[in-house]
Homo-oligomer: A and B are copies of this chain.
Amino acid sequence: MSSDKITIHDIARILNVDSSTVSRALNNSPRVTEKTKNRIIAKAQELGYQRNDLASNLRKNKTNTLGVIVPRISRHFFSSAIAGIEETAYNLGYNVIICQSLEQLEREQNTVNTLLANRVEGVLVSISMETKNYEHFEGLRKRKIPFVFFDRHLNVPETSSVLIDDFQAGFDATEHLIIKGCKKIAHFSGPMDLEIYKNRFAGYKAALLKHHIKFNDELIFNSRLMEQDGIENADKIIGLPYKVDGIFSANDVAAISALQQLKRNDFKIPEDIAIVGFSNEAISAVIEPSLTTINQPGFNIGKRAAELLISQISGNNGSVIDEKIIIQANLVERDSSQKNQGNK
C-alpha cells in the first residue's frame, strides 16, 4: 500500500538480486536475462517504483535539462516560444526549466544561478529590458554551458542568437504606411538598449529616407511600450499642432491602447490615422481589421533556438558557434477581403 520511497534496493532485497542488477534491468540494459529483467520490471510496477532522477542525474552527471529565461511567461510571444522550445526539447529527450525575469535585471541574475545550481546543460534566454551587459552570463561560459539568445539578445562573442529581422519588419511597416499615403508617421519606440527596438527604429528611418520623407524627431515617442504608454502617446499625438496620419508602433500593447484611446477621441481608424504594430498570433486573430500587424513567429523562433542549442550541447555544431539565425516576420494586413482564414 504505502509505496512511499521504494528504491532499487527494496526491489533487490525482495527479489534476491543485487541492486545493480535492478538498476540495469530498469534501464533496459542488454546485460540482464530477459527473465530476471521481466521479474524486476513486474515487481517495480507492482510496488509503484519511480526512479529518483536527482540521484540518477547526480550519479550520471547529466541532467538532460535546458533552462529558459524569458521576461514574462504570460506574454503570448514568449509562451509561444516556450511551446516551440518544449516541442523540440521533448522530442530530443530534454526537460525544460522555465524562469521569468519579470523585466528585472536582478531576477535575471538570480535565475542564471538557479539554473546553474540545477545543472542545466544549456540555456535559452530572451533578456529583460533592464539588461545592458552580459556579466551575469559569464558564469555559464566559464562552466562551458552553451546558451543561445532568442528575440531579445546581446552581442556576446561566440554566442548565437535566433532573431526576427526587425530592421526589415520596421522598414516594411513604415513603407506600408507610406504607400497608403501617410506623410506624418509617428513611431512608438522602446528602450534603445534593446537591439530589437533599435533595429525597428532603424527600419523606420530607412523607409522614410527611401521615400524622401524628412525625419522628424518630434514624432518619435520613446517609452517602455506598456498599455499606459500607448494611451499617453495617443494623447500627445492628438495634442500636436499638425495632423499625424500614421503610426508605426514597436509593439502591440502600446499600439492597441493607443488605438483605443484615439477612438475614444473620435479618431477614425484608419481614415484619420493608420497604424502598424508588432503583434502575435493570438492578438492578430482578433485584432481590428484596420490595424495592420507584423506577425511574430514565436513558436518557430523557440523551435529553432532549441535546435541550435541542443546541437551545441551535443557538440555537432560544425564550428558554427557564433551564428545569427534570422527569421522573417510577416506583415499581415487584415481586411474583410481576407476570406480564407483559420484553417487548421
Contacts and interface: CB of A to CB of B under 8 A. Distances in A.
B63 A343 contact: no
Interface in A270-322: 282-283, 285-288, 298-299
Oligomer: number of copies: 2
B86 A73 contact: yes
Nearest to A287: B286
A113 B75 CA distance: 29
Interface in A43-79: 48, 50-55, 57-58, 63, 72-76, 79
Nearest to A258: B342
A97 interface: yes
Nearest to A266: B336
Interface residues of A, number: 63
Nearest to A138: B48
Interface stretch (A139-147, A166-174, A178-186): A139-147
A90 to B, nearest CB: 9
Contact of A48 (B52, B139, B282, B285): B139
A320 to B, nearest CB: 23
A287 B260 CA distance: 11
A95 to B, nearest CB: 7
A143 B5 CA distance: 8
Given A257-B342, A285-B256, A343-B228, A52 B142 contact: no
Nearest to A78: B79
Contact of A73 (B82, B227, B286): B82
A244 interface: no
| Minimum-distance CB pairs A-B, first 6 | A79-B79, A53-B117, A227-B342, A54-B58, A74-B79, A74-B83
22 contacts: A3-B139, A4-B143, A48-B139, A48-B143, A50-B113, A52-B119, A53-B119, A54-B119, A72-B83, A73-B73, A73-B83, A74-B82, A228-B343, A231-B341, A231-B342, A260-B342, A261-B342, A264-B339, A282-B282, A283-B283, A283-B286, A286-B288
